[in-house]
């Protein structure tokens, strides 16, 4: 049998990537946009930075706890249903944030409701979906999806900061909710399908010719590489080192991205830098990151992903050091440039590595567990960073801790034995029939 590229035009998987790009753009914009509103909420609620940060911390923790739930639902029912119901819930809860009148209600609307349901639109179901549609170009497709988050930071954060200067924060959240329901929901309903098999396709847009020995009416059989740690039960992944290594490193990723998402604008204000300038710097970070993610994801299909993952963490550590060692404005732009080289590049590398090592059957659950570690680390960091600032009127001790953690994450990632465990380097193959389909199919 012989594989060849499909000649029927653009592979439908790339339309899936485009739809998820848009969904990621919206979700990341809403979640990273929290930091833009911290000072406004402090003034409106008469609350401290710690009190407002608590709502974000609750959100990161609840979002983390939701990840394995939605991952398991993805494995059982398919990503399409999870994504559609998730964006419906997120749009509705975004509208409710506008009704908050104190930190407690903000904790309920944002921290509890919005953050939990947004787990259905996270990289857990989206990454598992992309892994089913792509094998050879998995890193490239994952990175294209992740760029949605980078572009969101580049556009949405400055947009929200400008919008907040010209309207109340309640109006901003009502508009966000309307955009999610009016644009994001229809896109997912029309385009997304859970598996290429649901449309009579194969991953990567490939076709398989039936061998002559199969005769007329013979069945096409496609074989995929299988690594030695390919799991039938998600629990078995914890018996091997890569699951722990990926989760620990991703915990650090959560600590460092969540703290900046919530506290970057507040830190800038403490350095006498306007929120508008800080938002522009974060936009620059996101723009650089969009290019970096595409580059890293593409070359990860040609070299070991763990090497790139380790380097990404180490570069981000340098960005955190710049916030401590450089004066205000110089630190702002240095962090934007250095941090932009690494910000969301961990996402396609981590999810792709998990798929390569443990297979697709339980990838939704496994990705959910890894992402839970990310979000729990983020929730703790958001609260601790706020407490550090309230106590010492500086973020420097927290930034120093972040740099140390990133050094450790880089070392842990580089120690992953990818060539031993990844299916990309395995000579063993099997028919994909062994991969379970979502219950009830997903052709609706």
Are 332 and 399 in contact by the 8 Å Cβ rule? The answer is no
Count CA atoms closer than 13 A to 123's CA, side-chain side: 29
- pLDDT value for 208: 52
- pLDDT value for 364: 84
CATH class of 12-207+222-434: mainly alpha
Are 118 and 81 in contact by the 8 Å Cβ rule? The answer is no
Alpha-carbon distance values, 73 to 58, 67, 88, 186 (Å): 23, 10, 16, 21
Count CA atoms closer than 13 A to 218's CA, side-chain side: 13
Of 20-24, 201-205, 413-417, the poorest mean pLDDT is in: 201-205
Average pLDDT over every residue of 274-284: 83
The answer to whether residue 406 scores a pLDDT higher than 90 is: yes
pLDDT tens-digit profile of 127-175?
889 988 988 888 888 888 888 777 777 788 788 888 888 899 999 999 9
Nearest-Å Rg of the Cα atoms of the chain is 22
The answer to whether residue 433 scores a pLDDT higher than 60 is: no
Alpha-carbon distance values, 61 to 64, 75, 158 (Å): 5, 22, 26
pTM for this model (two decimals): 0.74
pLDDT range class, residue 386, cuts 50, 70, 90: confident
Q: How many helices and strands (H and E) does the chain possess?
A: 18, 4
pLDDT tens-digit profile of 15-41?
999 999 888 887 777 777 787 888 889
Token pair of 173 as six digits: 């959240």
pLDDT range class, residue 435, cuts 50, 70, 90: very low
pLDDT tens-digit profile of 35-86?
788 888 988 898 887 788 788 888 878 888 898 999 899 988 989 999 999 9
């Amino acid at each position: 049998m012989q594989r060849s590229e499909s000649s029927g035009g653009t592979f439908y998987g790339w339309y899936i990537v485009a739809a998820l790009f848009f969904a990621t753009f919206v979700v990341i914009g809403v979640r990273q946009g929290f930091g833009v509103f911290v000072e406004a909420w402090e003034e409106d609620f008469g609350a401290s930075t710690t009190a407002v940060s608590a709502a974000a911390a609750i959100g990161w923790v609840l979002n983390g706890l939701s990840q394995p739930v939605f991952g398991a639902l993805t494995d059982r029912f398919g990503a399409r249903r999870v994504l559609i119901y998730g964006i419906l819930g997120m749009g509705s809860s975004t509208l409710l944030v506008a009704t908050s009148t104190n930190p407690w209600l903000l904790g309920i609307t944002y921290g509890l409701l919005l953050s939990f349901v947004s787990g259905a639109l996270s990289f857990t179901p989206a990454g598992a979906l992309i892994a089913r549609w792509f094998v050879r170009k998995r890193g490239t497709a994952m990175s294209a999806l992740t760029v949605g988050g980078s572009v969101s930071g580049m556009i949405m954060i400055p947009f929200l900061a400008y919008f907040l200067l010209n309207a109340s924060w309640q109006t901003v959240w009502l508009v966000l909710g309307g955009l999610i329901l009016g644009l994001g929901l229809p896109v997912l309903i029309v385009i997304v399908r859970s598996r290429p098999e649901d449309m009579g396709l194969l991953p990567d847009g490939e076709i398989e010719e039936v061998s002559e020995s199969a005769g007329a009416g013979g069945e096409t059989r496609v074989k995929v590489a299988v690594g030695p740690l390919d799991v039938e039960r998600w629990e078995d992944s914890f018996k091997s080192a890569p699951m722990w290594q990926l989760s620990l490193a991703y915990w650090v990723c959560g600590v460092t991205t969540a703290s900046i998402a919530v506290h970057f604008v507040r830190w800038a204000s403490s350095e006498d830098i306007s929120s508008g300038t800080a938002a522009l710097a974060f936009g620059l970070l996101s723009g650089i990151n969009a290019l970096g993610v595409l580059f890293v994801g593409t070359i990860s299909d040609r070299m070991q992903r763990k090497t790139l993952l380790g380097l990404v963490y180490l570069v981000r550590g340098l960005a955190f050091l710049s916030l401590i060692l450089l004066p205000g404005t110089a630190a702002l732009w240095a962090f934007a440039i250095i941090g932009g080289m690494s910000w969301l590049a961990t996402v396609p590398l981590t999810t792709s590595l998990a798929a390569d090592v443990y297979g697709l059957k339980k990838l939704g659950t496994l990705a959910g567990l890894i992402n839970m570690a990310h979000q729990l680390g983020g929730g703790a960091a958001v609260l601790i960073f706020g407490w550090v600032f309230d106590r010492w009127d500086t973020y420097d001790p927290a930034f120093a801790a972040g740099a140390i953690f990133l050094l450790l994450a880089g070392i842990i990632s580089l120690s992953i034995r990818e060539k031993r465990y990844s299916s990309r380097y395995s000579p063993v193959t099997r028919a994909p029939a062994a991969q379970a389909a979502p219950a009830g199919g997903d052709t609706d």
